[in-house]
A = this chain, B = another copy of it.
Amino acid sequence: MHHTIFFDNASSTRTDARVFEKMKPFFMQKYGNPSSLHDMGQEAKDAIEEARDRGAALLGVAAQEIYFTSCGTESNNFALWGLAKSLQDKGKHIISSSIEHISILNPLKELKKQGWDYTLLPVDSFGMVNPEDLAKEIRKDTVLISIMHANNEVGTIQNLKTLAKIASEKDITFHSDGIAAAGIIPMDLKDLGVDAYSISSQQMYGPKGAGAVYVQKGHRLKPYLLGGTQERGRRAGTENVPAIVGFGEAAKLAAEEMHIHAAHITGLRDAFIKGIMDQIKNVKLNGHPQKRLPGNVHISFEYIEGESILLLLNMEGIAAASGSSCASQALKNSQVLLSMGLTPTTAQGSILFSLGKFNTMQEVDRVLEVLPAIIDKLRKMSPLYKEE
């Protein structure tokens, strides 16, 4: 099989070779259970505590404020549910946004069945939440606000500090889904002023199988997985030591190298966007023109179906996505795009190219070589398209 051009880093990233090297001993040599009292247990325990330190350093928080999970989805479920359940005596209203990941939206629906109420804030055509809308929707019984940091589809980065400040002034707990942002853009959660934050290893060149929740000291957090006393009683289950160790290494590398990669990836992104705009008509860049993730290239190609574009790109060895990978099997229209005001037809003709640190300008050039012909071919077959 020829080399795949992987422009789908939003759905999964390649594990960095240094991360993998760090993980390796934990399968066949250092395989103790961190809860065990013997040296091999302690060795595993020390390794996850080192990883916790590194995760905390990446986010600018204290190690004891980090709880490991198995993935980003678990982090979001745990944070939302664990905070909501802890705050229920104060009130049962939650505010979130219409462009959240389904690992936030679906738990909200479940909480609603259990007596909670929630409000989803709208976004503008760039995918931005208006802080005034947030202020307006706060009620006396609002106890929790959850607004994502960077959107996983269109890459829009929210004014998190402003939003968190509004929450803080009303003494409302503020959580943010940072899965698409952490390790990709610099952040200091203490400066941003959020109370809780979800992150995932596989979005930052770490392995699949590890996520984490930051919860500021002083906040209660009801455990979601129940059983043993792992993670200081907040998350039961034997720790996935190799994945957590890998996550820690990925966090360390991100903290050290993020700015270099961001510059590289932004360069690729801007060249790619310019190439598309120059060569293909009737296209639209979705998301915010400036406040966007370095690697995000989300484009609507009018008159054609995203799935068909993906298929033809795939035949050329190019991997891209039509939106959130978690929802992709459902083949439904992206709620994110509809919330931003795109028509269903335009939304369906949208492709997410997500560039990462392993991508090169040669790959961008190669995609720009084949993409215009693919779009042209599909438009010629489209009943919606009239050539100008």
| Residue ID in chain B nearest A206 by CB atoms | B27
CB atoms of B15 and A27 under 8 A apart: yes
Contact (A228, B327) CB under 8 Å given A36-B321, A74-B237, A236-B73: yes
Q: Is A156 an interface residue (CB 8 A)?
A: no
Verify A31–B4 contact, CB threshold 8 A: no
Expressed in whole angstroms, the Cα–Cα distance for A228 and B74 within the complex equals 11
**Which residues of chain B are near A240, meaning CB under 8 Å?**
70-71, 207-209, 240, 243
**What is the interface size of chain A, counting residues whose CB is below 8 A from a CB of the partner?**
74
* Cβ of A77 under 8 Å from chain B: yes
Residues of B within 8 A of A327 (CB): 228-229
A103 to chain B: which residues have CB within 8 Å?
A: 225-228, 236-237
Is there contact, CB below 8 Å, between A237 and B13? no
Chain B residue nearest to A328 (CB atoms) is B35
A326→B230 contact, CB < 8 A: yes
- Determine how close the nearest CB of chain B comes to the CB of A331; give it in whole angstroms: 9
Interface centre among A209, A229, A236, A322 (most CB of B within 10 A): A209
Q: Are B209 and A243 in contact (CB under 8 A)?
A: yes
A322-B41 Cα distance, complex, nearest whole Å:
13
CB–CB A27/B36 < 8 A: no
Contact B236 A102 (CB under 8 A): yes
Q: How far is the CB of A84 from chain B (nearest CB, A)?
A: 13
Chain B residue contacts of A17, Cβ below 8 A:
28
- With A35-B326, A209-B70, A328-B37 already in contact, the answer to whether A28 and B15 are too (CB < 8 A) is yes
Chain B positions within 8 Å of A329 at CB level: 35, 228-229
A305 in the interface (beta carbon within 8 A)? no
Please provide the chain A residues from 17 to 36 with a CB less than 8 Å away from any CB of chain B in the complex.
17, 20, 23, 27-28, 31-33, 35-36
Closest Cβ neighbor of A330 among chain B residues: B229
Interface stretch, picked from A50-58, A132-140, A307-315, is A307-315
Docked-complex contact B325 and A35, CB < 8 angstroms: yes
Partner of A14, one of B28, B106, B107: B28
Q: How far is the CA of A14 from the CA of B318 in the complex (A)?
A: 38
A242 near B: Cβ within 8 Å?
yes
Which B residue sits closest to A37, measured CB to CB?
Answer: B310
With A32-B319, A242-B207 already in contact, the answer to whether A6 and B40 are too (CB < 8 A) is: yes
- Decide: B106 and A326 in contact? CB cutoff 8 A: no
Q: Mark A64-82, 1 if CB is under 8 A from B, else 0.
A: 0000001111101100000
Q: Hey, which chain B residues are within 8 Å of A318, CB to CB?
A: 38
Contact B226–A107 (Cβ < 8 Å): yes
A:177-231 near B, CB below 8 Å? 202, 207-209, 225-230
Which B residues are in CB contact (< 8 Å) with A110? Answer: 226
Contact of A70 among B15, B37, B70 (CB under 8 A): B70
Given A4-B38, A228-B325, A229-B327, 20 other A-B residues pairs in contact with their CB atoms under 8 A: A4-B40, A12-B31, A15-B28, A15-B31, A38-B313, A39-B314, A39-B317, A71-B237, A73-B225, A74-B237, A76-B227, A102-B227, A103-B225, A107-B227, A207-B242, A208-B239, A208-B242, A209-B240, A227-B326, A228-B324
Q: List 8 A-B contacts (CB under 8 A).
A: A8-B40, A35-B328, A38-B310, A41-B319, A103-B236, A208-B243, A209-B242, A229-B326
Chain A residues within CB distance 8 Å of chain B = 1, 4, 6, 8, 11-15, 17, 20, 23, 27-28, 31-33, 35-41, 70-74, 76-77, 101-104, 106-107, 110, 202, 207-209, 225-230, 236-243, 307, 310-311, 313-314, 317-322, 324-330
| A-B interface, 8 closest residue pairs, ranked by CB to CB distance from nearest | A228-B326, A103-B227, A70-B70, A73-B237, A209-B240, A12-B33, A11-B33, A106-B226
